[in-house]
Amino acid sequence: MPIGIFKIDKQVSKSIDKFVKYLYAVYFILTNNIILYIIMIERMIFMAKTTTTITIDSNIKAQAQELLADFGLDLSTAVNIFLRQTVYDHAIPFEITRNTPNEETRKAIENVRNGVGLSKSFHSVSELMEDLYAND
């Protein structure tokens, strides 16, 4: 089968036909994916957006921006992710706790820091056991 000035046998011709069909398939997939991507972008562009002003500690903002940049995100995107997850979960998407010890715990911490009410230390289990049974 002559192509241009070259003669190509049937096997090579079939391989070329398969390759051309493959290229058409790749072109079709890429074209459709691009069209889907464009539709997604258009939907995002036309979504109603609003501007919100929030007050943030400048050091926390700088640290967050640096960390988010490592993830390829900006602060606005991170806040949007947080808000979307909040709406999805119908809750804040992480646990918020108050880890302030009560008065009894604060007093115990202070006593330990000052060495008040501590038992003596031991270098081995056998020393501990000897001291434990010494009063029997």
Greater pLDDT, 56 or 136: 56
Which H, E and C letters describe 15-79, residue by residue? HHHHHHHHHHHHHHHHHHHHHHHHHHHHHHHHCCCCCCCCCCCHHHHHHHHHHHHHCCCCHHHHH
Of residues 39 and 121, which shows the higher confidence score? 121
To the nearest 10 degrees (0 to 180), the angle between helices 75-89 and 58-70 is 90
- The region of weakest confidence among 11-15, 42-46, 47-51, 101-105 is 42-46
Tell me the per-residue pLDDT of 86-120, one tens digit each, with 9 for 90 and over: 888 899 988 877 778 889 988 998 988 888 887 77
d(CA 31, CA 37): 10
pLDDT score of 120? 79
The tens digit of pLDDT for each residue in 48-74 reads 678 888 899 999 999 999 998 988 888
Contacts of 117 (CB under 8 A, 6+ apart): 111
Q: Which residues contact 2 (CB under 8 A, 6 or more apart)?
A: 8
